[in-house]
Structure 1
Amino acid sequence: MKNFSYAFRVLLRNKFYSFLNIFGLAIGLAVAIIILLYVQSDMSFDKHHEKYDQIYRIESKFRIPPKDDEFALSSFVLAEMMKEEFPEIQNFTRFMGAGRQLFRIGDKNIYQDNLYFADSSVFSIFTHEFIEGNPKTALVEPSSIVLTQTAAKRIFGNGEAMGQVIETDNNNFKVTGIIKDLPDNVHLTFEGLISISTITSGNLYKQVNKKPISCGISLSILTSCFRKTMM
């Protein structure tokens, strides 16, 4: 108790320097905590996926003078070619931006962003908790769509979303699954996934094959192991 009283008197006797010391200590602790939280958040990205240590994203390197640039884009057919070439690849999924879609539900029009086309294998590679639907079959059929919980509520309100049909200018999508909202610490965020089989036929598929880069195909692969010759 005497030591505490003595320390308190010293602080009062040198108020200015005591303030500087305490203020500096507080700032230092605050900065250290912020850095710790930032690093912790950064290191936790995508760790909720059960197979996160087996998942790789394919990037393409382009020579754009005066430097080289890397983009997470690839050819639409690269996935099948790599799976045939490398037995270590167990599965793959492709993502292609679907742009902004105007959804029509009865007499209600809703603009929906953050949509992607994806292979049906996406849920066997990435871990997403289904509220309704079967992850193995949700994106098998053409014109199928899986929505996040928030997107489903925005589109259908408190009504039933599962099995409903969403009309657009070019297609009608059937809701085949509802998943929980994605956590904040993920690289690829979306509010809806549309079966990639919707576009793998007809003229659109030919356009995607001819212009793979402009279409923005992002490829993720699941491997049993990884060797240098694959790079």
Structure 2
Amino acid sequence: MIKNYLKITARHLLRQPGYTTLNILGLTIGIVSSLLIVLYLYHEISFDNQHSKADRIYRISSDIKEPDNAFRWAVTQFPLGRTVKNEFSEVAQYVRFIGNGRTRFQREDMSYYEEDIFMVDSTVFNVFDYQLLSGNPQTALQGPNSIVISQSMAEKIFKGENPIGQMLKTDRSSLEVTGVYQDIPTNSHIRPNAMISASNRRSQ
């Protein structure tokens, strides 16, 4: 049966090569396009699904209305997290991400500029399943002047040395490395290269 199909296909190809090639090309483009769309959709709906509490994690945004404009901003006032936690029993925990901008870190006589640096509450490991490769998630960000860094940042700055207990200087303070976490997947909305204890906010 298959042999006959192959013979018929070969005859059509020889008799009408242009028409057959067009059909095969169209079918190939259709299949490839469908696969690319499926892969794109799978990537989009997989965002933040690596967290075990993904179905219970919400991001609060602000609806800003001006006389000539209205927009939604993924930023809120600093006290909002604690207020929501205290006033709504449905809220089990909160964590705030405060962007620190492009930050210069100095170790010994070397300087390193890093993007995506955030100040966060110590509850970050209770909400998100960031995998600590070293350090204690319960205490890593509780103290002031503490910082946890990504695996890539640790390799870049410390080059194989154990970063735990080492000091990194910024333009405003000296920070002790208290943890190293696994690089965050690309299908994540927030991908910090380092997280500084939010208790440092007022001193900075």
Q: TM-score over 0.5 for the alignment?
A: yes
CA deviation digits over 1:11-53, x for unaligned, max 9?
2210011111000101101110000000000110000001000
The answer for the alignment partner of 2:126 in structure 1 is 124
1:60 is matched with which residue: 59, 62, 65?
62
Instruction: Give me the whole-angstrom Cα distance separating, in 2, the residues matched to 1:40 and 1:20.
Output: 30
* Residue 182 of structure 2: aligned partner: 180
Q: What residue number does 1:190 align with?
A: 192
Indicate the SS of the match to 2:58. Answer: strand
Question: Which whole-Å CA distance do the structure 1 matches of 2:66 and 2:34 have between them?
Answer: 40
Moved more, 91-100 or 60-69: 60-69
Cα distance change of structure 1 residues 102 and 3 upon mapping to structure 2, 3 Å threshold: closer
Report the 3-state secondary structure (helix = DSSP H, G, I; strand = E; otherwise coil) of the residue aligned with 1:26: helix
CA distance in 2, matches of 1:15, 1:146: 63
Correspondence 1:2-151 to 2 at 5 A: 2-151=4-153
Moved more, 149-158 or 4-13: 4-13
Q: 1:85 and 1:158 mapped to 2: Cα distance?
A: 46
How far 1:160 moved relative to its partner?
Answer: 1.8
CA drift at 1:108? 1.1
Residues 52-79 of structure 1: CA distance to partner in whole angstroms, max 9, x if unpaired?
A: 0000000100113544200111011111
Using the TM superposition, give the Cα deviation of residue 80 of structure 1 relative to its aligned residue in structure 2, in angstroms: 1.5
SS at match of 1:178: strand
Relative contact order higher in (CA < 8 Å, ≥ 6 apart): 1
Letter in 2 for 1:43: I
Gaps of 5+ in 1: 205-231
Counterparts of 1:58 and 1:169, CA distance in 2: 31
Letter in 1 for 2:18: F
2:122 aligned partner, one-letter code: S
Give the RMSD, CA atoms, in angstroms. Answer: 1.2
Secondary structure of the equivalent of 1:69?
strand
Per-residue CA shift, 1:97-139, capped at 9, x if unaligned?
1112221111111112210000000010000111100111110
What's 1:223 paired with? Answer: none
- Equivalent pairs counted in the alignment come to 202
| Alpha-carbon distance in structure 2 between the residues aligned to 1:70 and 1:92 | 21
Matched AA of 1:111: Y
C-alpha distance in structure 2 between counterparts of 1:118 and 1:62, whole Å: 24
- Structure with higher strand content: 1
Please, what TM-score do these two structures have when normalized by structure 1? 0.84
Partner of 1:229: none
Paired amino acid for 1:156:
F
Shift of 1:4: 1.9
Q: Distance in 2 between matches of 1:40 and 1:25?
A: 23
Q: Which runs of 5+ in 2 are unaligned?
A: none
**TM-score (structure 2 length as normaliser):** 0.95
Q: Which range is displaced more, 103-112 or 89-98?
A: 103-112
Post-superposition offset of 1:3: 3.1
Aligned counterpart, 1:211: none
